[in-house]
Amino acid sequence: MKFQWKEEIIKDNNMAYKIDSKKAEEFIDHSEVEDTLHYADLHKNNRELIEQILKKAALCKGLNHREASVLLACNEPDLIQRIYDLAKDIKHRFYGNRIVMFAPLYLSNYCVNGCTYCPYHLKNKTIARKKLSQQEIKNEVIALQDMGHKRLALEAGEHPIHAPIEYILESIKTIYSIKHKNGAIRRVNVNIAATTVENYKLLKEAGIGTYILFQETYHKANYESLHPTGPKSNYTYHTEAMDRAMEAGIDDVGIGVLFGLNTYRYDFAGLLMHAEHLEALFGVGPHTISVPRICPADDIATSDFPNAISDEIFKKIVAITRITVPYTGIIISTRESEKSRREVLEVGVSQISGGSRTSVGGYARQDSKEENTSQFDVSDQRTLDEIVSWLLDLGHVPSFCTACYRMGRTGDRFMSLVKSGQIANCCGPNSLITLKEYLEDYASKEVKTKGLKLINKEVETIPSPKIKEIALKNLKAIVEGERDFRL
């Protein structure tokens, strides 16, 4: 199903590029990005147009990349505040006060690529190289389950010998097989290098949640200089990866750029054009958008990246993404500090990692000496329980829900439920049920008290009497020892 409003917008703005082309250079048309930036500069002080864009955004049906770019270029404090207020409101309409929790799991840091911003690059001789055995993966998963995690994002460098597709598939099987105490990993999202349709089909068969791949930058010339060697240096193959994943039947894909590699305005427009392309071609936009920023790591210094963005710009990017693509999940990691996370949670972020270790084998080894295997430095070093406590204090409901993909609500089925607002009938109660599991099994006494209070309050706000009754029944059953309920 294609959404009419997108087609109307394209017509309205006289954009003549090929949104539904299968060629990277056509759906991320460089001239269209340049024209967009020019258009944004021309109109950044045009209050009348900005008012119209904000009015359109308030309808919750999204904006196009040109309109979003005008908002990003705008520097009027009162209008920026209006963007933040609207983003907060739209987030609440689509997601309520839920924040989905996840953790990354690093399988291997061997990599054949030459990415200049990542310490896993082939030529880095100072980093310790490591790949987890299946037994080590079990140890990691048990440690993650003991923290309370239910959703993982698998991470691995690209390496045909150390991390071939067979290794990734075996690792996914291992992860799903482990049931330790009341723990279970119920959704494995996968962030591995661009690959073939055949391999994407294998990932789909393995039962992955979202396939995540960051574009890093959409600027082709800069992409090529940032990726001088290795398979990832092929811009076209990398940029067309999501089309191959979709062709293979993976209908939940997660896109993102690494802000700071290139000028943020270019990459922001490119990111939105990519989302529009997926929707135009497959009828389904990205399930998630990640907004990492360049940060320090082993042999990487942020000072080498003059395009690194400030907290203020970062907040603007998150808020405008929220109102431009209202249905998508927006993800931030522990790269961000507590302060920065708090700011962007308010204006659009819906998923955060907690208690993360970015080193290979870092969860099971927490008490012993850490090897130098991390992809980036973790800024928010709080434990999962501390993060849950903090979210509760801020009035959010930390959610460990993985129901949608296990109930077959993926791709356009998921999107149409989100767009119609019906997803709230499942997500709200599911967040309370999974939070209750967390509180019973893993929370500290103080967090449990706070969490139960919030659940008692929130359960009363479930609009449907029938769903409220089911939720209350499930919450009671959890106290009696039952687990894994979902609506």
Q: How far is the CB of 358 from ligand SF4 (least distance, A)?
A: 11
212 sits near ligand SF4 (criterion: CB under 6 A):
no
241 sits near ligand SF4 (criterion: CB under 6 A):
no
Count of positions on this chain that bind ligand SF4 (CB under 6 A): 10
Segment lying near ligand SF4 (by CB under 6 A), choices 107-115, 347-355, 358-366, 442-450: 107-115
Segment lying near ligand SF4 (by CB under 6 A), choices 12-20, 93-101, 117-125, 311-319: 117-125
Measured from the CB atom, is 157 or 451 closer to ligand SF4?
157
105 sits near ligand SF4 (criterion: CB under 6 A):
no
Segment lying near ligand SF4 (by CB under 6 A), choices 82-90, 108-116, 301-309, 341-349: 108-116
- Considering only residues 118, 153, 281, 443, which one is a binding residue for ligand SF4 as defined by CB under 6 A? 118
Q: How far is the CB of 253 from ligand SF4 (least distance, A)?
A: 17
- Considering only residues 67, 158, 343, 385, which one is a binding residue for ligand SF4 as defined by CB under 6 A? 158
Site for ligand SF4 in 346-405 (CB under 6 A): none
120 sits near ligand SF4 (criterion: CB under 6 A):
yes
111 sits near ligand SF4 (criterion: CB under 6 A):
yes
Enter the tokens of residue 126.
């100072």
CA–CA separation, 479 and 194 (whole Å): 44
- Considering only residues 115, 273, 300, 454, which one is a binding residue for ligand SF4 as defined by CB under 6 A? 115
Segment lying near ligand SF4 (by CB under 6 A), choices 112-120, 195-203, 265-273, 428-436: 112-120
121 sits near ligand SF4 (criterion: CB under 6 A):
yes
Measured from the CB atom, is 107 or 115 closer to ligand SF4?
115
Segment lying near ligand SF4 (by CB under 6 A), choices 54-62, 63-71, 110-118, 440-448: 110-118
113 sits near ligand SF4 (criterion: CB under 6 A):
yes
The DSSP bridge partners found for residue 300 are: 297
127 sits near ligand SF4 (criterion: CB under 6 A):
no
Segment lying near ligand SF4 (by CB under 6 A), choices 91-99, 116-124, 165-173, 287-295: 116-124
Q: How far is the CB of 121 from ligand SF4 (least distance, A)?
A: 4
Q: How far is the CB of 195 from ligand SF4 (least distance, A)?
A: 12
- Considering only residues 62, 157, 260, 362, which one is a binding residue for ligand SF4 as defined by CB under 6 A? 157
Residues at the interface with ligand SF4 (CB under 6 A): 111, 113, 115, 118, 120-121, 157-158, 193, 232
